Structure 1
Amino acid sequence: MKLPVMPPVAPMLAKAVTALPEGDYSYEPKWDGFRSIIFRDGDELEIGSRNEKPMTRYFPELVDALKANLPQRCVVDGEIILISESGKRLDFEVLQQRIHPAASRVKLLAEKTPAAFVAFDLLALDDTGFMDRPYAERRSALEAALAHAAAPVYLTSRTTDPGTAQRWFSEFEGAGLDGIVAKPLTDPYQPGKRTMAKYKHERTADCVLAGYRVHKSGPDAVGSLLLGLYNADGELTNVGVAGAFSMARRRELFAELQPLVSDSADHPWTADKQDTGTRTPRNSEGSRWSGGKDLSFVPLRPERVVEVKYDHMEGERFRHTAQFLRWRPDRSPDSCTYSQLEEPVKFDLAEVLTAPAGT
């Protein structure tokens, strides 16, 4: 492989903002998948990742699709996504299952749950490097390069109108997207730097604290808090974790939570309840990109309520680690149900993938 831009390349990143910036920006959907930079030189193709390690072996079906739809020699930045069986929204949880060490499993998943690729930046084409050129020029060249691309390779939608971007922010969440990215039209491509802006949904929820995981530093510190919500059948369902504490706070939490430690077999997430269909910390994460991760936890009596901040849901659970806000002694655990969560407006993913390139 011999290209003007060679792997590995750290992708350009975005910093979080609380409102959409206005000015000379391109506004684009924030895709919920695996960030990837594609390097192609004829029959040679490598799928790079955010951590700069190749993911080529995990997506053999994409290798063929990218060769059929990308220029012979190019470097393209984008996102690997997985479209749900219904075709109406993204499914990140199933996408995570694609990262598997067994070649036979990779082959099976490539056939059963094929991925797609959404392109949104151009780093090189033929013998020309584009990284030092403004984004407006890179985007124009990318549109020309992918003018005849077809599914499962897409060109991301974009607009320069803040009003349209704000509407997308509200509508596209219903298709599984998690916000809007604003890209300065005059900026060059800057690997590893947060020169773009990401505007994401932020919400709060009152959850039942039902356990914790021990921190890797030792048994006297909390790694993460395990959160639950009661479903319509009255079962406590695992919805994710809250983390990102200072070490001092981790030790404070450990001491604070010891009186709640439960040895009771009646705890809703104990081992004998793993096969009941209720989402628990073990069966909800065992299928994720966890490898040999220790999924054990310390059960707590589900008596305390915690308010957390989250961005959006992926099925029944929080898509990302939630942020601890405060204890809620004024709330009873049985009031912590899914009914409190805001329902995003339903929106068909096909309308995002086939939207016009500019507005």
Structure 2
Amino acid sequence: MGHLPVYAPMVAQLGPLPGPAEQEAWAVEMKWDGVRCLAYAEDGALRLLSRNGRDVTLAYPELYALAGAVGGHDVVLDGEIVAFDEAGRPSFGALQPRMHQRNTARVAELVRTVPVTLLLFDILHVNNSPAVDLPYVQRRDLLESIVRPGARWQVPAWFQGQAEQALASSRQLGLEGVVCKRLTSPYRPGRRSAEWTKVKNFIHQDVVVGGWKPGEGRRAGTIGSLLVGVPGKSGLTYVGSVGTGFTDATLEDLRVRLAPLARATSPFTDQPPVDRPHWVEPVLVGEVQYAEMTGDGRLRHPSWRGLRAD
């Protein structure tokens, strides 16, 4: 590619919301549960680099037209690639089949079944000029003036001085949380800084799949929910059933993986209170996100994020 410099993304620190007296000094953005990427639009072509600098352009052909929606400029944009589940919520689990696929025919098929959206929230460079030293507000104005929204990319809204309301909205929408950004702050490539603070609604937890329940309605004939547990001193402790965060592709993949693991008895130390369970050997490890643990040791509002590759 030509003259655009390569940047590393700025990273947020985990922390609390700014205090009431501080809030006017901060912007609040929704935290989107996807994969971070820097988009380089140059000479009418698009290149996408992951957070660790890997070229992921081939995986997301539906984003290529973004290069024609930046007013003829050469730009470096920062954003999050997101896929949505059946409920229209960003789902990391839904995104999983897209992330590692490079086979052109398979990618084309996934574009139809699991399209992604690039949510843009920063601009680092325009033509021959870095924008990283501009304060947040000026960068956002620049971003909004340059990017023409399209079917597969957007510049989501940000809020000033409304951190509590924004966090409450993110919780109602089932989003991961919010990111608070200091209005005066520059963009610090490759740095993790408290000038960007992420505040999360959900906790992530590794779980072992011990069974599943058949689906109903739209999901009849496939998996309705996974029965999951965490290893304890005396064996696998049941922590709940997970029924959201799946796409059809994820469900099919899980069905294929779980079929040969079927067994007659429960692998859990305690009997889960479920009808018509299908038990499996407890070998598949996945990740869920949830709001909190209930008093009786169950996950509240769990959502599937995907199998652990490691």
Shorter-normalised TM range: 0.5 to 0.7
Match of 1:187 among 182, 185, 188: 185
> Which residue number in structure 1 is paired with residue 110 of structure 2?
109
| 2:169 aligned residue | 171
Q: Following TM superposition, by how much is the alpha carbon of 1:287 offset from its aligned partner in structure 2, in angstroms?
A: 4.2
Q: Output the CA distance in 2 between the equivalents of 1:285 and 1:230.
A: 11
RMSD: 4.2
1:237 corresponds to: 226
Aligned counterpart, 2:92: 92
What residue is the counterpart of 2:10 in the other structure? Answer: 12
From 195, 199, 208, the equivalent of 1:226 is 208
Q: Tell me the equivalent position of 1:198.
A: 198
Report the CA distance between 1:175 and its aligned residue: 3.4
CA-CA distance at 1:32 after TM superposition: 1.1
Distance 1:70 1:98 in 2: 25
CA distance in structure 2 between the aligned counterparts of 1:150 and 1:168, rounded to whole angstroms: 25
Contact kept? 1:97, 1:287, Cα under 8 Å: no
Structure 2 residue ranges without an equivalent (≥5):
216-223, 237-242, 244-248, 255-260, 272-285, 304-310
Deviation at 1:91, TM superposition (A): 2.8
CA spacing shift, 1:343–1:104, aligned 2, 3 Å: closer
| Alpha-carbon shift at residue 114 of structure 1 (Å) | 1.6
Matched letter for residue 118 of structure 2: F
Change (3 A) 1:176 1:225: closer
**Cα pair distance change 1:97/1:112, threshold 3 Å:** same
Give me the whole-angstrom Cα distance separating, in 1, the residues matched to 2:157 and 2:132.
21
- Asked if 2 retains the 8 angstrom alpha-carbon contact of 1:82 and 1:114, the reply is yes
Alpha-carbon shift at residue 51 of structure 1 (Å)? 1.5
1:71 CA drift (Å): 3.6
**Counterpart for residue 29 of structure 2:** 28
- 1:213 aligned partner: none
Contact 1:227–1:238 at 8 Å: present in 2 too? yes
Q: Is the 8 A contact 2:290 2:301 kept in 1?
A: no
Q: 2:160 & 2:145 partners in 1: Cα distance? A: 18
What secondary structure is seen at the aligned counterpart in 2 of 1:303? coil
- Greater strand fraction, Structure 1 or Structure 2: 2
**Cα 1:130–1:239 shift into 2, 3 Å:** farther
Deviation string, structure 1 residues 88-145 (Cα, Å, up to 9, x no partner): 3223212111131422111111122221111100101122111122212211211211
**Aligned equivalents of 1:284, 1:34: Cα separation in 2:** 17
Cα deviation for residue 2 of structure 1 reads: 2.6
> Which whole-Å CA distance do the structure 2 matches of 1:188 and 1:240 have between them?
44
Question: Residues of 2 paired with 1:55 and 1:142: CA distance?
Answer: 22
- Aligned partners of 1:241, 1:57: CA distance in 2, in Å? 37
Query: 1:143-175: CA deviations, max 9, x gaps?
Result: 2112x323221112111123xx32222223343
Q: 1:286 & 1:232 partners in 2: Cα distance?
A: 13
Q: Verify the 8 A CA contact 1:69 1:153 in the aligned structure 2.
A: no
User: In the alignment, what sits opposite 1:341?
Assistant: 300
Q: 2:229, 2:110 → 1: CA distance?
A: 25
Alpha carbons 1:121, 1:142 under 8 Å: kept = yes
Per-residue deviation at 1:19? Answer: 3.3
Q: CA separation of 1:159/1:228 partners in 2, compared to 1, >3 Å: closer, same or farther? A: farther
User: 1:301 offset after TM fit, Å?
Assistant: 4.3
* Matched residue count: 257
Contact 1:89 1:174 in 2 (8 A): no
Checking the alignment, whether the CA contact within 8 Å between 1:77 and 1:123 is kept in structure 2 is yes
Query: 1:16-55: CA deviations, max 9, x gaps?
Result: 1133453421111001111111001123321111121011
- SS where residue 139 of structure 1 aligns? helix
Provide the rounded CA distance (Å) in 2 between the counterparts of 1:20 and 1:230. 42
Match for residue 311 of structure 1? Answer: none
Tell me the residue number matched to 1:152.
Answer: 152
TM-score, normalised via structure 2 length: 0.68
* Contact 1:39–1:46 under 8 Å retained in 2: yes
Contact 1:115 1:152 in 2 (8 A): yes
Q: CA–CA distance in 2 between the matches of 1:321 and 1:83?
A: 18
Cα distance in 1, alignment partners of residues 150 and 225 from structure 2: 44
Letter in 1 for 2:68: A
Report SS of the residue matched to 1:98.
Answer: helix
Provide the rounded CA distance (Å) in 2 between the counterparts of 1:80 and 1:286. 23
CA deviations on 1:296-340 (whole Å, 9 max, x unpaired) are 9xx9941169xxxxxxxxxxx8545999x9xx9xx9xxx666xx6
* Cα offsets for 1:234-253 (capped at 9, x unmatched): x99344768xxxxxxxxxx8
